[in-house]
């Protein structure tokens, strides 16, 4: 080659080691940035999802309890309050002769929660029915979970293996007629209330010429199925000819168990025995509390608000304020909630084992119109 003009050969083109190292470093930085962004976005989405589920659970819990409590005092056409001894025990049945036969004093004590299993009253023609009949005089009752636990562990509810209640949370029991009427005798048609399933059912006698002047009409409370209902429940309506509707007797207990789960016990009278069965409803419910509105003078307006109604208050409850505390389903790293909340006028501190959960406190007023509206 001729280099006489002073030119030198050019070096081969390409990247040197330094350029490659810089490029790799920049690539790593970009990948780390994208990875961090993805991780943060995933955490945010997970947090939003947990928050959404928490709010959904809280709203569902409040709506479920409000819907149930609003039906208190509904007895399918019978006047409230129900008088068990004069309205239900008819046609030669043998009711409890006197309150002394009962294991509680009906004049001073609210009946046990888990009535209807036949474990409390004895010596009648139908012990379970006798319990339910007297329980109908108290369609609503609430207390701390310790009261319910004593009945669960004692086997009164039908099984001592049920999940125990949170002793710091309220529970309530409601007894009422079902919200839908099944077909009437003599050949009831099937509908969404059927089959009858050998449960206890109610039927009110609406025919004035037959009801012997009783203020609310006679009530039949019988355990029937699709085969024998036509011969057992034969009351008629106000026209004394149209068959009266038939309603299932509902007895349900709502409480929060020790694992922060809203649980429902429902009286199951299908099959050979009678017992309360367990139904898990909502996870993450830490606390239930209630404020009860009492009408003491019968004018349909509340006269006082209390957390602990007396024995004479329960038939006069016309409203309730529901309080719920619902936590997230998963713990959140780095989050701390060790606050003390005021729930229904009382202090409640977050359990030390649950301080890493997010929670929401909600309340709602419910009008118990089946009791209150009849007084206005």
284-328 residue pLDDT tens: 999 999 999 999 888 888 999 999 998 888 888 999 999 999 998
Residue 257: DSSP 8-state: B
Please indicate, yes or no, if residue 354 is contained in any of the structural domains: yes
182, 194 Cβ separation under 8 angstroms: yes
Please indicate, yes or no, if residue 355 is contained in any of the structural domains: yes
The H-or-E segment that residue 133 falls in is helix 127-135
Both 22 and 85 in one domain: the answer is: no
- Length, in residues, of the chain: 376
Distance CA 344, CA 276 (A): 29
How many Cα atoms within 13 Å fall on the side-chain side of residue 282?
27
Q: What is the mean pLDDT of each run of 10 residues along the chain (376 residues)?
A: 57 68 82 78 66 83 94 78 59 49 56 80 75 81 89 77 85 88 55 70 76 58 82 81 85 93 86 80 94 90 91 88 92 88 93 91 92 66
- CA angle, residues 201, 244, 135, in degrees to nearest 5: 35
Q: For residue 238, give the nearest of 208, 274, 275 by alpha carbon.
A: 208
Distances (CA, A) of 134 to 160, 210, 231, 248: 24, 24, 25, 17
Q: For residue 90, give the nearest of 206, 239, 205, 241 by alpha carbon.
A: 205
Both 173 and 54 in one domain: the answer is: no
Both 126 and 271 in one domain: the answer is: yes
Bridge partners for 171 per DSSP:
143
**How many Cβ atoms sit within 10 Å of the Cβ of residue 333?**
7
Please indicate, yes or no, if residue 7 is contained in any of the structural domains: no
Domain boundary among 231, 250, 281: 281
Both 239 and 102 in one domain: the answer is: yes
Both 96 and 211 in one domain: the answer is: yes
Bridge partners for 340 per DSSP:
349
pTM across the whole model: 0.81
What pLDDT is stored for residue 365 in this prediction? 95
Both 165 and 271 in one domain: the answer is: yes
Q: For residue 202, give the nearest of 249, 168, 244 by alpha carbon.
A: 249
Please indicate, yes or no, if residue 129 is contained in any of the structural domains: yes
Both 90 and 41 in one domain: the answer is: no
180, 246 Cβ separation under 8 angstroms: no
Both 50 and 161 in one domain: the answer is: no
How many Cα atoms within 13 Å fall on the side-chain side of residue 344?
22
Whole domain around residue 329: which residue ranges?
17-69+284-376
What pLDDT is stored for residue 104 in this prediction? 53
């Amino acid at each position: 080659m001729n280099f006489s003009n002073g030119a030198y050969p050019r070096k081969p083109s390409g990247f040197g080691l330094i350029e490659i190292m810089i490029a790799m470093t920049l690539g790593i930085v970009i990948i780390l940035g994208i990875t961090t962004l993805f991780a943060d976005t995933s955490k945010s989405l997970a947090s939003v999802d947990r928050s959404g589920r928490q709010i959904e659970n809280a709203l569902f819990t409040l709506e479920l309890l409000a819907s149930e409590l609003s039906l208190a005092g509904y007895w399918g056409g019978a006047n409230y309050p129900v008088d068990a001894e004069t309205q239900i025990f008819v046609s030669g049945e043998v009711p409890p002769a006197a309150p002394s036969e009962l294991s509680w004093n009906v004049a001073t004590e609210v009946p046990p929660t888990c009535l209807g299993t036949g474990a409390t009253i004895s010596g009648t023609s139908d012990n379970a029915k006798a319990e339910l009949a007297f329980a109908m005089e108290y369609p609503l009752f609430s207390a701390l979970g310790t009261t319910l636990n004593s009945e669960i562990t004692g086997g009164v509810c039908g099984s001592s293996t049920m999940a125990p209640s949170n002793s710091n949370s309220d529970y309530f029991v409601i007894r009422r007629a079902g919200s839908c009427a099944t077909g009437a005798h003599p050949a009831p048609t099937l509908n969404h209330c059927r089959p009858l399933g050998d449960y206890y059912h109610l039927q009110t006698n609406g025919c004035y010429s037959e009801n012997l002047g009783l203020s609310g009409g006679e009530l039949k409370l019988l355990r029937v199925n699709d085969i024998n209902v036509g011969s057992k429940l034969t009351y008629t309506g106000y026209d004394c000819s149209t068959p009266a509707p038939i309603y299932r007797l509902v007895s349900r207990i709502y409480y929060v168990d020790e694992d922060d789960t809203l649980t429902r016990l429902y009286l199951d009278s299908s099959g050979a025995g009678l017992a309360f069965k367990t139904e898990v409803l909502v996870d993450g419910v830490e606390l239930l509390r209630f404020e009860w509105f009492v009408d003491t003078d019968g004018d349909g307006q509340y006269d006082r608000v209390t957390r602990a109604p007396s024995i004479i208050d329960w038939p006069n409850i016309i409203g309730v304020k529901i309080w719920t505390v619902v936590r997230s389903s998963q713990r959140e790293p780095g989050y701390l909630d060790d606050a003390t909340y005021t729930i229904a006028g009382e202090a409640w501190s977050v359990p030390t084992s649950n301080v890493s959960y997010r929670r929401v406190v909600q309340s709602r007023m419910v009008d118990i119109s089946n009791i209150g509206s009849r007084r206005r």
